[in-house]
Amino acid sequence: MPELPDVETFKNYLEKTSLNQKIKNADVRNNKILKKVSKQKLNKELKGNALKSTQRHGKHLFVALENKSWLEFHFGMTGFLKYFKDIEEDTKHDRFMITFSNGHHLTFDNQRLLGYVSLTDSPQSSIKEQKLGPDALDIDYKYFKEILSYPRATVKSTLMNQSKIAGIGNIYSDEIFYKAGINPGRKNKDLKEKDIKILFSCLKKVLKTAIEKKTQPKDLPKTWLLRYREQGQVCPKCRGKIKRKKFSGRGSYYCPKCQK
DNA sequence: AGTACCACCTGACGGC
DNA sequence: TGCCGTCAGGTGGTAC
């Protein structure tokens, strides 16, 4: 699930539910979700502490702790946050749980264990260490054009390359290409200036709209591809058939008629 | 150096 | 019912 708009939504959710409460306990249920931190260290760091503020970079969520260190979440393909009181809501995929002194819990649900929780000195140092590019919402046209200047890569893999732009994954890149009317299998070198301009504006538009709608599929525009990600579905623009094809190893949906 | 591809996990689904 | 292959909104390591 989690690409930039999803993580932004998680960020807002965490801010609304979990800030400024004393942490009573932290519980790691599966060590596979830990990155560069031990269970003991994480527990010790969190206990008695509080979550103070949040920051997002690409698909990464950083949460400042009262004692100045930072908690980092990466959601992988199946991660999300859950805040609840009733312990019935705790499921087997809740790999990590913070319990606040008010009796509520914040959990990191991560079915496929491809995400992680970590501890870092600052978002900046973690971003640098992981070689993340600038956040997709922060880049300007000049920079965008620059990253598309590597001729051999396909456009889609460039948009999804986190070291070039942070935040775009498989779903939203398909959406951007659909809106722009550009085939995701094209090579960077085949793009004309006008294609790059359209791609750039669609990139910003798609991400912002998704955030505004809190990524709820039912609230997203009916003309979005996201709702028709299935082979043979009808394209909402031309009534043609949606096709699925692999580009750089990822299943991509597109309309062959609308996207050249 | 830049790019493509597999492995890492769990689970759901369709075909036989 | 079970087994198999395939797929899933991510990404690190590795091989070209």
Q: Is the CB of A152 under 7 A from strand B?
A: yes
> Minimal CA–CA distance to A106: which of A64, A167, A50?
A50
Report, as an integer, the average pLDDT of A57-74: 95
Nearest nucleotide from residue A75 CA, by C1' atom? C10
C-alpha span between A176 and A221 (Å, rounded): 13
Q: Is the CB of A164 under 7 A from strand C?
A: no
Sort A225 into a burial class: Cβ within 10 Å, 0-12 / 13-18 / 19+. buried
Report, as an integer, the average pLDDT of A159-184: 94
pLDDT digits (tens, 9 = 90+) for A201-249: 999 999 999 999 999 988 999 999 998 888 888 999 999 989 888 888 8
Give the pLDDT band of residue A200 (cuts 50, 70, 90): very high
For residue A175, pLDDT beyond 80: yes
Q: Is the CB of A158 under 7 A from strand B?
A: yes
Nearest nucleotide from residue A92 CA, by C1' atom? B10
CA A160 to C1' C14 (Å) is 19
What is the pLDDT at residue A229?
A: 86
Give the pLDDT band of residue A179 (cuts 50, 70, 90): very high
Beta bridge partners of A114: none
Q: Which two tokens stand for residue A69?
A: 């260190």
Give the pLDDT band of residue A186 (cuts 50, 70, 90): very high
Q: Are strands A105-110 and A94-100 parallel, antiparallel or unpaired?
A: antiparallel
CA A33 to C1' B6 (Å) is 21
CA A136 to C1' C4 (Å) is 40
pLDDT digits (tens, 9 = 90+) for A92-108: 999 999 999 999 999 99
In this structure, how many other beta carbons lie within 10 angstroms of the beta carbon of residue A59? 26
What is the pLDDT at residue A188?
A: 92
Could you tell me how far CA A181 lies from the centroid of its own chain?
23
In this structure, how many other beta carbons lie within 10 angstroms of the beta carbon of residue A81? 23
